[in-house]
A and B are shown apart, each in its own frame.
Chain A
Amino acid sequence: MNTISGAQAVIKALEREGVDIVFGVPGGAILPAYDPLYDSPIRHVLARHEQGAGHMAEGYAWATGKVGVCIVTSGPAATNLVTPLANALMDSIPIVAITGQVATTSVGNDAFQEAYTTGITMNATKHNYFVTNPDDIPDVIHEAFHIAATGRPGPVLVDLPKDILNAHLKWHKPPKLDLPGYKPTVEGHPRRILEAIKLIESAHRPVIYAGGGIIKANAADQLRMFAEQTNAPVVTTLMGLGGFPGDHDLFLGMPGMHGTYAATTAIQKADLLIALGVRFDDRVTGNPDFFAPHASVIHVDVDPAEIGKVRQAEIPIVGDVGRILEQMLEAWAKRPAPDHKEWLEKVNSWRTDNPVRFDQQPDGPLKPQYVIEELYRRTGGDAIVVSGVGQHQMWTALHWKFSRPREWINSGGLGTMGFGVPAAIGAKAGAPERTVYLIDGDGSFQMTHQELATASAEGFPIKIALINNGVHGMVRQWQTLFYGSRYSGSELGRDTVNFPMLAEAMGCVGMRVETPGEVGPAIEKSLSINDRPVLIEFVVDPDEMVFPMVPAGGSNDQIILGPEDLE
């Protein structure tokens, strides 16, 4: 009988799933699997920290639409993965994590480098497996990929004890899927589709509220056609940016806490909300009791648990949002585009009267928004943009006109500082021909900046705009507004770290920019370097705040447009 080791089966199963790259860090328990990986066509990228490996897998998945894979050892390595797993769960990112585990004979004994990985990650994954029989490996890996990529995508973890990796099994094909309880709905219910069409037809002030589901479902084309057919203005959430062209006439921007006036207000005045692949996150709704008070809701989502969770929907439709938009377009086919002249004029006036603004004086302190707008101009918007978490993330969302899906990668649901550097590496690994520009904060950057070494060692020439305000800006903004400017624990110091030297020390090019005049040339230079990662430190005004803003838990009717509204 022809047998292979469990470890060989793992690598073979990954190859069968079409995996071409994995991000990881080896260690005792997973060592058996690293041996066959050495001979495999699958590329291994050695991260500097397992959190980095996890976010790299996420960046890769986000940029490509494929499943990202990370592989780490047991115990501390697995616990280091908890953050990326939770992040992937919140943002519906398909990744498969392979973890080593101590031998089954030691499991539960507080053995060296043992952690109860499946228990710890139970609520941070869509599903996880603890493999106790080597014969199960081919099917488990196949199921893991299937679960990660289908329905509402998410992270799946496979925990593999060392003795199982060393045991032998008979390889079989094709793999089986034995998931009696897992049958995601794809098609929308035809009766519901018709009800939705009727409601859309009778609406006077419709708003399409589209989220990350549009990107996950590759439904951007369907969304654009649907918006044009129904002549309805569109807002996209932070996660949905790029799901609808940012320069389209019908586009109002992002709604919510740091959303545009037009997007947030249109929802407040709407009589119909067509919610597509969104989860009514509190950063969008503010206090849900005051959210879209006049609107009926059509809610389309692949995850039935999202429907009715925050806001009751008059018409719930479960299924793949791309497929459902196709069904709606078919049902709509013979109807003319409705005339929403009055409504569109109104939302247009909100848009033109309340643009997102900032004030860059030629010889004043450098404004972060100016840096971002220059980046947009100089790249022609042709880049994959990744961000950390904080003010710089919101400024990027507000000042970059995303026009295509998968060009905006950030941590929305969990808000994970430190996401940026590794996610940018993963994105570059998935889209090597694209410019990948990370716009990071000095706080976020310092949580995972050791991965710069990975970027240069492994040849991922990412570009980084480090927005250095010397503070945890988003925290400081809240302290300014709600804690009487008492800056407790939010000051990093602008000159503590010499960032260009740090970048150079890790094999990257480092630059420093302090005045508006230097911004353009530095960006041009960064665009001309493609053999190494480049970091530009932009030393910016620490007092700059993100506006518009709706204070947490408040009503979206009360938008602070700028510092002048604070008095």
Chain B
Amino acid sequence: MNQHTLSVLVENKAGVLARVSSLLARRGFNIHSLAVGPTADEGISRMTIVVDAPELEQVKKQLHKLINVVKITELDRATAVEREISLIRVSTDGQKRSDVLEVATLFDAVAVDVGVSTIMFLVTGSPEKVNDFVELVRPYGIADLVKSGRVALARDQKSRKLRAS
């Protein structure tokens, strides 16, 4: 599947999310994930849209037809930071608790709710990291799982070499 990440600035007006999702649906583009939130400019929100589409050009052009869409940037995985958050409630019956906690430590997952037979973890990171964590704890039994949808921003190309990671 051809997955693309779009970072879309939209006017902060009622119904914009409905317009975007309904346009994508009408055109037959499948939305893999969609995350919306405010930006530093209170009139503008940012949507991070991950779409499955063979031909991204049409997706971008169609989105541009929406009057409330201000700017669309396609993010390249190599030059963007992409993050997801997940909350996962894992079964920790009997012997499993210390094993699960050990896996969580490796992934910097934080225990945010501890029960008698389950622990809820918060894990943050690249979509791959979050996925890997989910896969590693899956054998212990996942009681509940929620993902935030992806958020992403392009890296600062000019100062890139100054950074360590």
Residues of A within 8 A of B (CB): 118-119, 122-123, 126-127, 130, 132, 147, 179-182, 303-305, 307-309
Contacts and interface: CB of A to CB of B under 8 A. Distances in A.
A123 B71 CA distance: 21
B74 interface: no
A1 B31 CA distance: 50
Contacts of B64: 304-305
Given A304-B61, A309-B58, A181 B18 contact: no
Contacts of A309: 58, 61
Given A123-B23, A303-B65, A305-B64, A181 B11 contact: yes
A123 B62 contact: no
A305 B26 CA distance: 15
B66 interface: yes
Interface in B9-48: 10-11, 14-15, 18-19, 22-23, 26
B69 interface: yes
A181 B68 contact: yes
B78 interface: no
B15 A181 contact: no
A179 B43 CA distance: 12
B18 to A, nearest CB: 7
B14 A308 contact: no
Nearest to A147: B67
Nearest to B26: A123
Interface string B117-160: 00000000000000000000000000000000000000000000
A123 B23 CA distance: 7
Contact of B67 (A130, A181, A308): A181
Nearest to A143: B67
Nearest to B69: A181
Interface of B: 10-11, 14-15, 18-19, 22-23, 26, 57-58, 61-62, 64-71
A445 B61 CA distance: 38
A296 B26 CA distance: 30
Contacts of A179: 67
Nearest to A179: B67
Contact of B22 (A123, A126, A127): A123
* Residue among B10, B26, B68 having the largest count of chain A Cβ atoms under 10 Å: B68
Contacts of A127: 66-67
12 contacts: A118-B15, A123-B22, A127-B67, A180-B11, A181-B67, A181-B70, A181-B71, A303-B65, A305-B64, A308-B57, A308-B58, A309-B58
B78 to A, nearest CB: 25
B53 to A, nearest CB: 13
Given A130-B15, A308-B58, A181 B66 contact: yes
Given A305-B61, A305-B62, A309-B58, A182 B18 contact: no
Contacts, number: 42
A492 B10 CA distance: 51
Nearest to A152: B65
Contacts of A132: 14
Contacts of A118: 15
* Residue among A127, A180, A304 having the largest count of chain B Cβ atoms under 10 Å: A180
Contacts of B26: 123
* Residue among A179, A305, A309 having the largest count of chain B Cβ atoms under 10 Å: A305
A12 to B, nearest CB: 24
B55 to A, nearest CB: 9
A284 B53 CA distance: 26
Contacts of B19: 122
Contacts of B18: 119, 122
Given A118-B15, A309-B58, A182 B67 contact: yes
A511 B10 CA distance: 58
B13 to A, nearest CB: 9
Contact of B58 (A122, A130, A305): A305
Contact of A122 (B14, B22, B57, B69): B22
A181 B10 contact: yes
A130 B62 CA distance: 22
A181 B66 CA distance: 8
A309 B11 CA distance: 26
A132 B18 CA distance: 17
A126 B69 CA distance: 13
A123 B21 CA distance: 11
Nearest to A156: B67
A179 B13 CA distance: 12
A29 B161 CA distance: 62
Nearest to B25: A123
Contacts of B67: 126-127, 147, 179, 181-182
A307 B61 CA distance: 9
B35 to A, nearest CB: 20
B24 to A, nearest CB: 11
Given A181-B10, A305-B61, 7 more contacts: A122-B15, A127-B66, A130-B14, A179-B67, A180-B11, A307-B61, A309-B61
Contacts of B69: 181
B160 to A, nearest CB: 29
A304 B63 CA distance: 11
A303 B58 CA distance: 12
Nearest to B43: A180
Contacts of A126: 65, 67
